[in-house]
């Protein structure tokens, strides 16, 4: 098991961990309960760990792209218009936020 990311707070750690798991890379958050004990002092208590050392390089590349916003930018290129109300949505969404209609095939 290798540490891949020192998070600023537990929310960030779980966001990164969840992203890695959605990409098929097993990860865990450790030390999330220690961060509250230090108040506002900067500590590296909360971290994300990859459980399979062989997947560390893949996880590192994915995590860096994720934190730099490359995944959200790629979804913007696939923007679509709702067939019911005409509202424009980004590519990562499968339903219209305005009326709830499904994305057209």
Identify the pLDDT of residue 71. 73
Geometric angle at alpha carbon 33, from 31 and 38, rounded to 5°: 95
Identify the pLDDT of residue 24. 92
> With a cut of 70, which residues of the chain have pLDDT below it?
34-44, 72-77
CATH architecture of the domain with residue range 2-68: 2-Layer Sandwich (3.30)
What 3-state class would DSSP assign to 101? coil
Cβ atoms of 48 and 7 within 8 Å: the answer is: yes
Identify the pLDDT of residue 33. 72
Identify the pLDDT of residue 85. 95
**Residue-range domain boundaries for the chain:** 2-68, 78-105
* pTM assigned to the model: 0.62
Identify the pLDDT of residue 105. 81
Q: Which are the contacts of 90, defined by CB distance < 8 A and separation ≥ 6?
A: 75, 76, 78, 79
Cβ atoms of 64 and 21 within 8 Å: the answer is: no
Identify the pLDDT of residue 5. 92
């Amino acid at each position: 098991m290798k540490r891949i990311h020192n998070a600023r707070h537990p929310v960030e750690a779980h966001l990164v961990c969840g992203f890695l798991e959605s990409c098929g890379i097993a990860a865990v958050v450790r030390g999330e309960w220690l961060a509250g004990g230090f108040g506002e002092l900067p500590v590296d208590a909360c971290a994300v760990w990859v459980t399979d050392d062989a997947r560390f390089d893949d996880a590192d590349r994915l995590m860096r792209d994720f934190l730099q916003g490359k995944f959200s930018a790629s979804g913007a290129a696939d923007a679509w218009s709702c067939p019911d109300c005409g509202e424009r949505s980004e590519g990562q969404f499968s339903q219209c936020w305005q009326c709830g209609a499904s994305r057209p095939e």
